[in-house]
Amino acid sequence: MARPGLTNDADVRSLASNALLRLFDSLYEGAVVVDRAGRITWINDKYKALIGWNGADPVEGRMVEEVIPNSRLRHVMESGRAELLDVFAIGSRQVVVSRIPLQDESGAVIGGLGVILYDRVQALKPIVSKFQQLQADLASARRELAETRQAKYRFSQMVGLSSRLRDVKEQARRAAERDATVLLLGETGTGKELMAHAIHGASRRADKPLVGLNAAAIPETLLESELFGVEPGAYTGAGTKPRPGKFQLADGGTLFLDEVGDMPLMLQAKLLRVLQEGEVEPIGSTRLRTIDVRVIAATSRDLKAMVDAGGFRADLYYRLNVLPIRLPPLRERLEDLPVLCEALLEQIAEKAGEPVKSVSAAGLARLAAYHWPGNVRELGNILQLAAARHDVRLLGAEHFDDLPVTAPVAAQAIEGEVRALRDAVAAAEKAEIVKGLAAAHGVKLNAAKLLHISRAQLYEKLAAHGLLSETPDRKEAV
Ligand SMILES: Nc1ncnc2c1ncn2[C@@H]1O[C@H](COP(=O)(O)OP(=O)(O)OP(=O)(O)O)[C@@H](O)[C@H]1O
Ligand SMILES: [Mg+2]
């Protein structure tokens, strides 16, 4: 409302703008107003002092850049968008500024206002350095995350000299060169995860992410969103930002679908579609997203039997079973026991920061008599326990006393069906030879001694049991 004595709107406006300019003058460390052409129409004394303008020459009417070099007011007027916080250099000083385009009622830009909010950026240093620290932390966390998405293991870390393992590694190397889906089959602890990493690391996708998802470890209700992602507002509590699924995170790289046999049937259908189409549809989205992902699936279950029993979709099974690789159980490659013990004990010692222990020939024979349902993982655990419990450099049979003797032959002898005596004797002989070789670290002469037969007899028996090609001659002393 107009005060008595003021007659028209123009007077009120002029009074208001004068009041505003006085307010700017008192509030800010500097303030400047330019017209549409970028000419200064008003500047306060504090600003003039800051730029070192000496009193005599009028500033008003000059182009803003002439008075304030590098001024961005013209840019703000052209874009029509305010810059509310910026750090600006005036001479050697850093100041915090705001720039606002001035518009008339129709929205047309008629000028610009620049204010210096703060002329002591120095005082902001603690906040700035905190911000910089946070940014550095974020960058390093991102780097770490990227690293954890890289392959952790290489083929060389898959220890074993048996022909079974060498064949499997060869298959995996060939699979790595291709881009087809790989299905890793094998009992628990046989090294499926290790193999998945090695395949990714040797593939053309090695510098892209390797993203894992364990279908057995995630509640059924969350599996779908974990795999395919969620759009904002897809359901109550879905959040306001889109959440990418594992497929999307693995784009360009490899998705390791662990325990795929534990995937619910409903999701199996959706997974099959994604594998066939190469497209995912996040929950709550109507848009399909193209993805380029190589899938490595693994399971310790008998997938084929699950298909026959109706627990796993046949079409998905065939879609996954493009390059199947079967990891042999430890009990079927006992020749690998010596090198595995060596490698695992090295790892154990390194972790504990203690000298490396080893297993004696008798100790190895004792280990070979067990059937290792948990395979290499279990072997690692047993060795760790023995190494921690016994303060000796060489672990012998007596240090594995807790381990039951359950080698397949022993178990079969008691529980299995009755066989022809000749077959049973042959099986027992074969098992003993394998055990002997394991205990002798693959050195045949020593194995022959342990078995109380001649080297020539051992060769004959190895040939008879089809073991000759599986036992490369290791001549090194043990
Ligand atoms: N050939 C091997 N050489 C060295 N270490 C191995 C080998 N195979 C497996 N391991 C080790 O054994 C442990 C179990 O391996 P991994 O987790 O890959 O098995 P898995 O088949 O995925 O088992 P699960 O089915 O229980 O998930 C790991 O610590 C792994 O490093
Ligand atoms: Mg695993």
Q: Domain 16-124 maps to which CATH number in 3.40.50.740, 3.30.450.20, 3.30.2040.10, 3.30.499.10?
A: 3.30.450.20
Residue 412 predicted with pLDDT over 70: no
Query: Measured from the CB, is residue 159 less than 6 Å from ligand 1?
Result: yes
Read off the pLDDT of residues 283-295 as tens digits, 9 standing for 90 and up. Answer: 888 888 899 999 9
Stretch 249-278: mean pLDDT, rounded? 93
What is the whole-number distance in angstroms between the Cα of residue 376 and the centre of ligand 1? Answer: 6
Stretch 368-384: mean pLDDT, rounded? 94
Q: For residue 42, what pLDDT is reported?
A: 92
Read off the pLDDT of residues 102-117 as tens digits, 9 standing for 90 and up. Answer: 998 898 999 999 999 8
Query: Which range among 240-249, 295-304, 408-417 has the greatest average pLDDT?
Result: 295-304
Residues 6+ apart with CB under 8 A from 259: 214, 215, 216, 217, 298, 299, 300, 301
What is the whole-number distance in angstroms between the Cα of residue 206 and the centre of ligand 1? Answer: 20
Q: Domain 332-470 maps to which CATH number in 1.20.58.220, 1.10.3720.10, 1.10.8.60, 2.60.40.150?
A: 1.10.8.60
Residues 6+ apart with CB under 8 A from 178: 323
**Nearest bound ligand to CA 340?**
1
Atom of ligand 1 nearest to the CA of 165: 1
Q: For residue 4, what pLDDT is reported?
A: 55
Task: Give the pLDDT band (50/70/90) at residue 166.
Answer: very high
Residue nearest (by alpha carbon) to ligand 1 atom 27: 188
What is the whole-number distance in angstroms between the Cα of residue 425 and the centre of ligand 1? Answer: 33
Q: What percent of the chain has pLDDT over 90?
A: 51
Stretch 198-215: mean pLDDT, rounded? 93
Residue nearest (by alpha carbon) to ligand 1 atom 9: 191
Residue 201 predicted with pLDDT over 90: yes
Ligand 1 pocket: which of 193, 325, 351 to mutate (most atoms within 8 A of CB): 193
Residue nearest (by alpha carbon) to ligand 1 atom 12: 377
Read off the pLDDT of residues 62-87 as tens digits, 9 standing for 90 and up. Answer: 999 999 988 999 999 999 999 988 88
Three-state SS across the chain?
Answer: CCCCCCCCHHHHHHHHHHHHHHHHHHHCCEEEEEECCCEEEEECHHHHHHHCCCCCCCCCCCEHHHHCCCCCHHHHHHHCCCEEEEEEEECCEEEEEEEEEEECCCCCEEEEEEEEEECCHHHHHHHHHHHHHHHHHHHHHHHHHHHHCCCCCCHHHCCCCCHHHHHHHHHHHHHHHCCCCEEEECCCCCCHHHHHHHHHHCCCCCCCCEEEEECCCCCHHHHHHHHHEECCCCCCCCCCCCEECHHHHCCCCEEEEECHHHCCHHHHHHHHHHHHHCEECCECCCCCEECCCEEEEEECCCHHHHHHHCCCCHHHHHHHCCEEEECCCHHHCHHHHHHHHHHHHHHHHHHHCCCCCEECHHHHHHHHCCCCCCHHHHHHHHHHHHHHHCCCCEECHHHHCCCCCCCHHHHHHHHCCCCCHHHHHHHHHHHHHHHHHHHCCCCHHHHHHHCCCCHHHHHHHHHHCCCHHHCCCCCCCC
Query: Measured from the CB, is residue 360 less than 6 Å from ligand 1?
Result: no
**Nearest bound ligand to CA 261?**
1
Among the residue ranges 94-108, 155-169, 401-415, the one predicted with the least confidence is 401-415
Residue nearest (by alpha carbon) to ligand 1 atom 8: 191
Task: Give the pLDDT band (50/70/90) at residue 322.
Answer: very high
Query: Measured from the CB, is residue 343 less than 6 Å from ligand 1?
Result: yes
Query: Measured from the CB, is residue 101 less than 6 Å from ligand 1?
Result: no
Ligand 1 pocket: which of 167, 194, 335 to mutate (most atoms within 8 A of CB): 194
Stretch 451-471: mean pLDDT, rounded? 80
CB-based contact 181:320 (threshold 8 Å): yes
Strand partners, 99: 83, 114
Task: Give the pLDDT band (50/70/90) at residue 403.
Answer: confident
Among the residue ranges 191-200, 210-219, 341-350, 453-462, the one predicted with the least confidence is 453-462
What is the whole-number distance in angstroms between the Cα of residue 282 and the centre of ligand 2? Answer: 27
Residue nearest (by alpha carbon) to ligand 1 atom 24: 188
Residue 1 predicted with pLDDT over 70: no
**Nearest bound ligand to CA 258?**
2
Q: For residue 414, what pLDDT is reported?
A: 46
Q: How far is it, in rounded angstroms, from Cα 129 to Cα 21?
A: 34
Q: For residue 2, what pLDDT is reported?
A: 45
Residue 472 predicted with pLDDT over 60: no
Read off the pLDDT of residues 138-162 as tens digits, 9 standing for 90 and up. Answer: 877 777 676 666 777 888 899 998 9
Counting Cα atoms < 13 Å in the Cβ hemisphere of 475 gives 0
Q: What percent of the chain has pLDDT over 70?
A: 90
Task: Give the pLDDT band (50/70/90) at residue 282.
Answer: confident
Residue 419 predicted with pLDDT over 80: no
Task: Give the pLDDT band (50/70/90) at residue 6.
Answer: low
What is the whole-number distance in angstroms between the Cα of residue 415 and the centre of ligand 1? Answer: 29
Stretch 427-441: mean pLDDT, rounded? 82
Residue nearest (by alpha carbon) to ligand 1 atom 10: 191
Domain segments of the chain: what residues?
A: 16-124, 155-328, 332-470
Query: Measured from the CB, is residue 160 less than 6 Å from ligand 1?
Result: yes
Q: For residue 476, what pLDDT is reported?
A: 39
What CATH code is assigned to 155-328? 3.40.50.300
